């Protein structure tokens, strides 16, 4: 079992919720200001794992996080899906009419814009994080101020939820990955998903040929994303996730794909948690 996990943000953040789901409550949380810093902690062996949002149903893939995993040769060892729900919260005994200012991350404010149109007395102010505003409201006893954060943040910082699920798009499913320096712990019997990266020359049918091998070997594609390589015109990188029932089939596909593609790389082999 690991001792510590680095997350982007502070306790009460969505990354913290994912850590609780995945690791339980016995692991130390290493709060980091950015994904870059969390990865640095992992590389310096200050922590044993990092949790990283990797894609969501509103914005798609978070390419800079793929790049962090890829460029530092880290391993994806697991995944978690979370439906992101934003709640408006404040000190107890405050009503929504008492709130004059709400501080939050620009993305959270944007996602809740429609709700705040119905509350014209509230001024929206950008802040660097969602959960840290909740923390500040508690520690400084800030009246008339609201935060947009998770139910976990409301519990941790003893705030009262004034309005639930105030984001405009009601479902924002976000996929998080658990990342380590190496992977030598998952029993083969548990592996039924893999994240792959490969490059192809821009030749007609080259991707179709790769997908045919995957299909022939009974791999199911759950994600595909092309990314042009800027330094090398007409060369493309692909990030692909596959699920499978039989590890033998996956190993066979991997052996063939390695020969067909350039720079074929396994970013992680782990257990699928999406059913």
What is the contact surface with its own copies in residues (CB under 8 A)?
57-61, 63-64, 106, 126, 171-173, 202, 204-205, 207-208, 211-212, 214-215, 218-228, 230-231, 238
CB of 242 to its own copies, least distance (A): 10
Determine which helix (DSSP H) or strand (DSSP E) holds 252, and give its type and residue range: helix 247-260
CB of 210 to its own copies, least distance (A): 9
CB of 240 to its own copies, least distance (A): 9
Burial status of residue 255 (CB atoms within 10 A of its CB: 0-12, 13-18, 19 or more): exposed
Burial status of residue 1 (CB atoms within 10 A of its CB: 0-12, 13-18, 19 or more): exposed
Residue closer to its own copies, measured from CB, 223 or 252: 223
Report the distance separating Cα 266 and Cα 263, nearest Å.
Answer: 10
Q: How many residues does the chain have?
A: 275
Report the distance separating Cα 55 and Cα 152, nearest Å.
Answer: 22
CB of 55 to its own copies, least distance (A): 9
Residue closer to its own copies, measured from CB, 164 or 229: 229
SS (H, E, C) 189-215: HHCCEEEEEEEEECCCCHHHHHHHHHH
Sequence-ordered list of residues with C-beta below 8 angstroms from that of 118, at least 6 positions apart, any chain: none
Torsion angle of C-alpha atoms 113, 63, 213, 220, degrees rounded to 10? -40
Residue linked to tokens 């990188």 = 237
Residue closer to its own copies, measured from CB, 208 or 259: 208
Residue closer to its own copies, measured from CB, 60 or 144: 60
Residue closer to its own copies, measured from CB, 90 or 196: 196
Residue closer to its own copies, measured from CB, 28 or 67: 67
- Identify the three-state secondary structure at position 237: strand
Residue closer to its own copies, measured from CB, 61 or 119: 61
CB of 227 to its own copies, least distance (A): 6
Sequence-ordered list of residues with C-beta below 8 angstroms from that of 252, at least 6 positions apart, any chain: 217
CA 5 to each of CA 29, 47, 66, 227: distance values in angstroms, whole numbers, following the listed order: 5, 6, 19, 30
Q: CA 192, 197, 202: angle at the middle one, nearest 5?
A: 135
CB of 39 to its own copies, least distance (A): 15
CB of 92 to its own copies, least distance (A): 31
CB of 104 to its own copies, least distance (A): 14
Residue closer to its own copies, measured from CB, 144 or 226: 226
């Amino acid at each position: 079992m690991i001792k510590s996990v680095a997350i982007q943000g502070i306790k009460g953040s969505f990354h913290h919720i994912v850590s609780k789901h995945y690791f339980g409550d016995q692991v130390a949380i290493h709060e980091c200001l950015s994904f870059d810093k969390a990865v640095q902690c992992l590389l310096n062996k200050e922590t044993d794992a990092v949790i990283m949002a990797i894609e969501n149903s509103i914005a798609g893939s978070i390419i800079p996080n793929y790049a962090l995993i890829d460029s530092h040769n880290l391993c994806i060892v697991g995944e978690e899906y979370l439906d992101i729900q934003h709640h408006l919260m404040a000190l107890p005994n405050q009503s929504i009419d008492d709130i004059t200012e709400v501080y939050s991350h620009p993305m959270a404010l944007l996602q809740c814009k429609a709700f705040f149109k119905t509350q014209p007395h509230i001024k929206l102010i950008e802040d660097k994080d969602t959960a840290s505003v909740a923390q500040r409201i508690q520690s400084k006893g800030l009246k008339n101020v609201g935060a947009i954060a998770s139910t976990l943040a409301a519990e941790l910082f003893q705030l009262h939820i004034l309005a639930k699920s105030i984001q405009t798009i009601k479902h924002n499913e976000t996929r998080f990955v658990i990342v380590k320096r190496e992977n030598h712990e998952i029993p083969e019997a548990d592996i039924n998903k893999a994240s792959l990266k490969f490059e192809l020359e821009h030749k007609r049918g080259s991707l179709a040929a790769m997908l045919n091998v995957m299909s022939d070997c009974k791999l199911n594609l759950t994600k595909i994303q092309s990314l042009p390589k800027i330094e090398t015109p007409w060369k493309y990188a692909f990030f692909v996730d596959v699920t499978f029932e039989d590890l033998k089939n996956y190993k066979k596909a991997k052996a063939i794909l390695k020969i067909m593609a350039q720079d074929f790389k396994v970013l992680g082999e782990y257990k699928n948690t999406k059913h």
